[in-house]
Amino acid sequence: MREESLRRRAAKVLPPPERKAEYVREMFTQIAPAYDRINRLMTFGLDRQWRRWTVLHANLRPGDRALDVATGTGDIALELARRVGPVGTVIGTDFSDGMLRLARSKARAAGLEDVVRFQWADALDLPFGDGEFDAATVGFAGRNVTDLHRFFSEMRRVVRPGGRVVHLEISRPTQPVLSALFRLYFYNVIPALEGRLAGARSAYTYLPNSLTLFPSVEDLAKIMREAGLVDVQYYPLTFGTVTIHVGVAP
């Protein structure tokens, strides 16, 4: 009954599918200046380690080409740039101009602007050719797209055969006590605290509720396989509160 109550509440809070893309773009542009600070607070600083593990699962080597989809402020893209080195190439895409401005600024500050480039793109219609990249990554964005099958199909398309698609996302713990604590924190504490800090409570109401209707880790792995990826595996982190999914382009 508790799960059903959460689903009813999420259905009332979340925008309808036809407005979701516009809503998400405006929301992330609004919260962009506070996004990194709030992520650190919300995850107790663990999000940095989660992103590093995501990059490790991409299995990149110096000189490789990597794509970070829905890059936000560019944290994963910058980690990818460090991984592929000065002779490699990383492209980070997003459809929020506010996020992209911050990502470019961070790349300059890190001295990585010659390795990583940030550009506007729709995650469901990537402006790249087939097999252009050795890996594609995405962090905390799957809940924000309107078509997960197309989302993963596009990433699979632009990755060369044998390359990896790596997806990092918040997930729901299954152990009862952890699940109850997670619901209390994620659905009540975060919207109140982070919404106040960001000056945008609606954004931090949307974020937890978007997880309610998101597929389970098993169902997401199935969607990745249906999108054409093979050898799909997933790795729960931090007591199952986040999960890395990895698939291989055939």
Residue 111 region by backbone torsions, left for phi larger than 0, else alpha for psi between -120 and 50, else beta? left
Structure confidence by residue, pLDDT tens digits, 37-77: 888 888 889 999 999 999 999 999 999 999 999 999 999 99
pTM of the model: 0.92
Residue 212 has a pLDDT of 86
Length of the chain: 250
Q: Which domains does the chain have, with CATH numbers?
A: 18-172+215-248 (3.40.50.150)
Average pLDDT value for residue range 181-199: 72
Cα torsion 173, 23, 128, 89: sign? negative
Average pLDDT value for residue range 115-128: 98
Indicate the residue type of 239: F
Indicate the residue type of 240: G
Structure confidence by residue, pLDDT tens digits, 209-230: 888 889 999 999 999 999 999 9
150-155: long-range contacts (C-beta < 8 A, 24 or more apart)? 150/124, 150/227, 151/123, 151/124, 151/227, 152/223, 152/224, 152/227, 152/228, 152/229, 152/247, 153/227, 153/228, 154/123, 154/124, 154/125, 154/126, 155/67, 155/69, 155/126
Average pLDDT value for residue range 126-141: 98
Sheet with 242-248: list strands edge to edge: 116-120, 89-94, 65-69, 133-139, 159-170, 242-248, 230-237
